Structure 1
Amino acid sequence: MTTKIAFIGAGSVVFTQGLLADLFAFDELRDVHIALHDIDADRLATAEGAARHIADHLGASPLITAHAERRAALDGADFVINIIQVGMRDATRTDFDVPARYGIRQTIGDTLGIGGIFRALRTFPVLRALGEDIAAVCPDAWLLNYTNPMAMNVQYLTQATGLTRVVGLCHSVYWTMRDLSALLNVPYEEITYRAAGVNHQAWVLRFEHEGQDLYPRLDALIAEDPQLRRRVRVDMYRRLGHYPTETSEHSAEYVPWYLHHAEEIERLRLPVGAYLGIVDENIAAYEKTRAALADGVPLPVEGTMEYAPQIIHSVTTGTPRTVYGNVPNHGLITNLPASGTVEVPCLVDGSGVQPTRAGELPPQLAALNRTYLSMNDLVVRAALEDEPRHIRHAAMTDPATAAALPVEQIWSLCDDMVRAHGDALQPSLRAVLGT
């Protein structure tokens, strides 16, 4: 039977194009069924046109279908790739503008902090409906989630829907190791590494070349280069002893030490509000793609080395691989909460995705990850238990928010965010509680 892959949120056209180029690069996946779904008709049509162009360009012969109705896209799917962004640019701007009135600085705002909390809360209702549809029409499918906030979304999906074949995918570990290899002028293909932690705050626990630890070489390079020391992730590495697997822009938001202090923003060159520019760039890229298709101008087709196509290839062909996945902890990292979502190496082959046990993290790393997971748990509990107070408890627990605001203002900010996001939240969470 033909493998069917459903793209939910396919109107994220640039990302969809990269994933399709990766898929069609595998000979065994050149005749799959690609089922595209998006709630925006124009974006869906653009995604379909781009998919057909990429298939033609790469000499693939997939069956490509486009569906305004989600269940039709999911029906009989073997794999579901979730790339939705609920609320798009307007909701993202709200996530920045309202906290900014309280003096909250954010760079990306999609994982922790006020931005991460409300991005999760407006995504959860869609995830619940998606889970119900999968259970009804493709219960054996693997759900490969790219939508942020990754760890909260995976925890919610597994606890609210009962789905077990859920893996969250992020490219941060892969690109961190590519970048470190280039920094040390060592071929990526020759290094050995192992990382573990939580999404956007995992840690490089092992980094070797030909059996030799590469951390001393990295230390020497940092000592010689003052510009390297002006990066948040390098600053964290120097103090914590293990390199974090996410960019400085992301990493600054998950701790209380940087964004609350103007001198640290200057020292570490932190681009406050950077994600708003990225959103605008993504919209411009979409418009360029739509115009190119309308004019019949060839589109650039580039692979992205993402994990989802690799997983699909391994499961369908039995080819063994190791990828990094975000999965329920269940003893994988022994000094982190069992209910949380952790990022660990996963073995993939014909039997599926099998997370590997990382054991115990160094205590200083686990301490930071536990705070992260505690905040995540409160957000998920807010939705599962219909408890709006937990939204405020999560904001109080968040390190960057707690560093910037007294508790009364945290509650007021949450009230303003609830008002601003309105109908995107489940009804039980729309209450304005005051202080």
Structure 2
Amino acid sequence: MSTKITFVGAGSVVFTQSLLADLFAYPDLGETEIALHDIDAERLATALGAARYIATERGVKPAITAYTDRREALEGADFVVNIVQIGMGEATRTDFEVPARYGLRQTIGDTIGIGGIFRALRTFPFLKALGEDITEVCPDAWLLNYTNPMAMNVQYLTEATGLTRVVGLCHSVYWTVHGLAELLGVPLSEVVYRAAGVNHQAWLLRLEHEGADLYPRLAALAEEDGELRRRVRFDMFRRLGYYPTETSEHSAEYVPWYLHHDSEVERLRLPIGDYLGIVEENVATYEQTRRALAADAPLTVEGTNEYAPQVIHSIVTGTPRTVYGNVPNHGLIDNLPAHGVVEVPCLVDASGVQPTRIGALPPQLAALNRAYLSMNDLVVRAAVDNEPRHIRHAAMADPATAATLPVEQIWQLCDDLVRAHADRLQPALRAILGS
């Protein structure tokens, strides 16, 4: 029996290549069909060429097809991998340039904050249409979402589309532990860890090697190394007692303590607008791939240990493994809102994705996560209830925005971004409300 995997937004060629390199490394998946979808025909053709090249390099022979029509690509899918970015680099630049005129600093701008709010709002109409298509043409498929803002998107999908087989996947927990294992000089395979919280602001609740807690060693290392202390994550670890699972650049945006202060930007070496450089690098890498395919030159085929291929392999073959997934908090973390989306370890096997109940987080960690989830909920409420005032309420509740701007300017900024993104927002949210 064949397994069909549909990539929506396959024109994000760099990420598609990484996922396929991981997926094609499994020799026991059996007969597989890869369906690539994108609305950009040139990018789709590049993704198709890259997919065929990677399959040849891995020595596998899946059926690989490409579609500009989404419903055709989804027909009969067992898994749908969503990697769409609505508006691409142009919209991202708007999310940085307009707030910058108000003095509002961002580093990545894709999770919460003003950038996360508007990335979500322009993604929601697409997610609703995708959910409707999945319900009609592949209702039993698992939707594996990579598109940010992860927690907002997964909450919206589950509330607005009725889909239940939805899990958001992010590599931050894995790469955090990978980096700490290197820093501490212990083999990654021997590290025992558990993390939980919300996407990009989860916490390492357990970090051990051979039965010993690694946190005292990590704290001692930071005490000895002044450069380590000039990282946001180590600053948060020192004050909160637990290490966050996303980079310092990301982590700085989710709290009110850092970006608003020139001295902290300098002390912690925060790269303002960093994501704009990443966008340019992704475009350059795509162009390099396109030119290589046109010239029949070799491509680099490297796996990245992403979770989506692991989830697909476990469900198809019954191989049990644990991944970190973003799912609705239905009793998983006691002291976070039930309607929020949390990131927890999930067992995956032939029966699907089964989240692990964590219990209560340490109170200082839950307090930060609740602020994050409260802002998320206001953005989702804006879309589900067609209430444009909730966009402003979300910005008012966002820690970094509220630390920087008075409320009148927050409303003005939201009006400016609504104007800039109006054609991508659902009609009821295009209202200009004034300050």
- Report the TM-score, using the length of structure 2 for normalisation: 1.00
Contact 1:8 1:82 in 2 (8 A): yes
In 1, Cα distance between equivalents of 2:434 and 2:240? 39
2:284 alignment partner in structure 1:
284
Separation in structure 2 between the aligned mates of residue 253 and residue 320 of structure 1, nearest angstrom: 35
Offset at residue 17 of structure 1 (A): 0.4
Listed one character per residue, the Cα deviations across residues 135-180 of structure 1 (whole Å, up to 9, x for unaligned) are 0000000000000000000000000000000000000000000000
Cα distance in 2 for partners of 1:29, 1:226 equals 48
* Cα distance in structure 1, aligned partners of 2:143 and 2:188: 29
Name the counterpart of 2:362: 362
Q: Which residue of 1 aligns with 2:301?
A: 301
Where in structure 1 are there 5+ consecutive unaligned residues? none
Q: Distance in 2 between matches of 1:119 and 1:30?
A: 37
SS of the residue 1:123 aligns to: helix
Give the distance between the partners of 2:71 and 2:231, measured in 1 at CA.
45
Aligned position for 1:235? 235
User: Alignment partner of 1:269: what SS?
Assistant: coil
Alpha-carbon distance between aligned partners in 1 of 2:158 and 2:279, rounded to the nearest angstrom? 29
Shift of 1:422: 1.4
Residue number in structure 2 paired with 1:267: 267
- Measure, in 2, the Cα distance between the counterparts of 1:204 and 1:303: 25
CA RMSD of superposed structures (Å): 0.5
SS in 2 for 1:28: coil
In structure 2, how many angstroms separate the alpha carbons of the residues matched to 1:161 and 1:192?
37
Equivalent position amino acid for 1:280 in 2: E
Counterpart residue number, 2:8 = 8
How much identity, in percent, do the aligned residues show? 78
CA–CA distance in structure 1, aligned partners of residues 148 and 160 of structure 2: 17
Structure 1 match to 2:97: 97
Q: Could you list the per-position Cα deviations for residues 107-128 of structure 1 after superposition, in whole angstroms to 9, with x for gaps in the alignment?
A: 0000011100000000000000
Is contact 1:319-1:350 (8 Å) kept?
yes
Cα offsets for 1:40-87 (capped at 9, x unmatched): 000000000000000011111000000000000100000000000000
Tell me the TM-score normalised to structure 1 length. 1.00
* Separation of aligned partners in 1, 2:399 and 2:331: 25
Q: How does 1:22-421 map onto structure 2 within 5 Å? A: 22-29=22-29, 31-421=31-421
- Residue 31 of structure 1 deviates from its aligned partner by 3.6
Cα distance in 2 for partners of 1:423, 1:220 equals 52
**How far apart are the structure 2 equivalents of 1:31 and 1:52?**
15
Instruction: Give the SS at the match of 1:403.
Output: helix
The one-character-per-residue Cα deviations of 1:244-289 (angstroms, maximum 9, x if unpaired) are 0000000000000000001100000000000000000000000000
CA contact (8 A) 1:99 1:413 kept: yes
Post-superposition offset of 1:30: 6.1
Which of structure 1's runs of 4+ aligned residues deviate more than 3 A? none
Tell me, in whole angstroms, the C-alpha distance in 1 between the residues paired with 2:71 and 2:417: 31
Q: Which amino acid aligns with 2:43?
A: R
Tell me by how many angstroms 1:29 deviates. 2.7
Between the aligned partners of 2:111 and 2:196, the Cα distance in structure 1 is 17
Give structure 2 stretches of 5+ with no counterpart: none
Shift of 1:382: 0.1
